[in-house]
Chains A and B, each alone.
Chain A
């Protein structure tokens, strides 16, 4: 399983507000339009809520979105 590299500062200290659990890295499937990407992301072990750090959303995910989107 490949892993998205996230600056440590983005991950350490995060915990799920609902469950109070510290986030752990887990395999996640990202689906956009018809494309599927397997990545590891911080996830709440209790409720499976996934954290997508801002740097990822504004960085690689945005790039992928632009490549997939139509004119």
Chain B
């Protein structure tokens, strides 16, 4: 283990050296704090192996870094001059209020929330994003953004500033229950909804969100699809809660294609206050998700379909795209493409990911240019694949136990702090075991 910090102590968040150790098929992050002892946490289980899951990138530092790399990662975020990837998505929290009180919440939203930022403040933050990162993709998040009555105004504001793709991170409750609301969001310019969706059975919703929500989610999917807003289902995957339901979630998504544009799985990570470290049995890793998707879809989705990301660090995610056939089966697109492992400029990957997300996660145009009287195989494929493509992906967020600073430096999802700094998502949400944050709520 080198002396260079590569993680943090989960107790005091002090940067500490860390290394990966592979035992059998499993890989652990091990680290030691001089004050709080040693920690060992599983980060990868099984095939495809930790070492082979790689897509090297040549770092692309911010064009206009906001902060200097003085204290060392992860204490200088802003972005700092040593960051290695541009912004693909800027996450803007427009409220900290929420109409759900989930046991699992990144943002620790709910009661006692501070006042919402004013539309003027949101406008200034968007200007900060433009100066730092250009016209990247925007995700309006929270809290639950739909509790704000002026949400359509905020969407219009972002679009008027030129952001090409605006997505809403939502639980979908208001969208599913209020007639005409989705249409108002669509009219304001909303492209896509990142819909919290934990499973095809109410048990998962009850376990993770405290109440049965499946019916409300299905209503939200219908309302969003009808309004022309692309839907991405976002299940938080928790061992023993919904890890048996991944294939069924994909089938539900295929049944709702082209309204549902993608499924983006998020293995549970642990933010907030934890009196004891979460056990390894409470964690599920990316390769396990890949294999479960294969076994739960009867092989329609195969673990070897998935590719490491071209934008964020390789160990943060996987993805593959599928054509949804007339029979609602999934057929792999772009299979057989060998991974081009030549290191590429990170910013090229960010540009491609931005364009892909904009194209895939929004709803396609209703009318497409079709060939004349005799469409051929290419016409048929273009017509189907332009609309009925389902993107399947997963992203593993890092918490105080799993944080790998090499991954953090390559992060492309940046939260816009209230003072305009851009902070990599996992640093922004990082909490020590006692709930103390590094960035959230600190100015």
**With a CB–CB cut-off of 8 A, which chain B residues contact A35?**
333, 381
| B375 proximal to A (CB < 8 A) | yes
| A47 proximal to B (CB < 8 A) | no
Instruction: Say yes or no: B333 contacts A67, CB within 8 Å.
Output: yes
- A63: contacting residue among B307, B334, B382, CB under 8 A: B382
| A49 proximal to B (CB < 8 A) | no
Distance in angstroms between the alpha carbons of A3 and B353 in the assembled complex? 34
**With a CB–CB cut-off of 8 A, which chain B residues contact A63?**
378, 382, 386
**With a CB–CB cut-off of 8 A, which chain B residues contact A68?**
333-334, 385
Instruction: Say yes or no: B377 contacts A70, CB within 8 Å.
Output: no
Instruction: Say yes or no: B352 contacts A34, CB within 8 Å.
Output: no
Distance in angstroms between the alpha carbons of A67 and B66 in the assembled complex? 37
Q: How far is the CB of A60 from chain B (nearest CB, A)?
A: 5
Distance in angstroms between the alpha carbons of A61 and B393 in the assembled complex? 26
- B376: contacting residue among A3, A34, A67, A69, CB under 8 A: A3
Give the size range of A's interface with the partner. 20 to 34
Which residue, B310, B352, B375, B376, has most C-beta atoms of chain A within 10 A? Answer: B376
- Main secondary structure on B side of the interface with A: mixed
Interface positions of B from 321 to 342, Cβ below 8 Å from A: 321, 332-337
Distance in angstroms between the alpha carbons of A53 and B334 in the assembled complex? 24
Q: How far is the CB of A3 from chain B (nearest CB, A)?
A: 6
Instruction: Say yes or no: B378 contacts A37, CB within 8 Å.
Output: yes
| A2 proximal to B (CB < 8 A) | yes
- A71: contacting residue among B352, B371, B385, B386, CB under 8 A: B352
- A5: contacting residue among B311, B319, B374, B385, CB under 8 A: B374
Distance in angstroms between the alpha carbons of A71 and B381 in the assembled complex? 19
**With a CB–CB cut-off of 8 A, which chain B residues contact A2?**
374-377, 380
Question: Which residues on B are within 8 Å of A, measured CB to CB?
Answer: 307, 310-311, 319, 321, 332-337, 352-353, 355-356, 371-372, 374-382, 385-386, 389
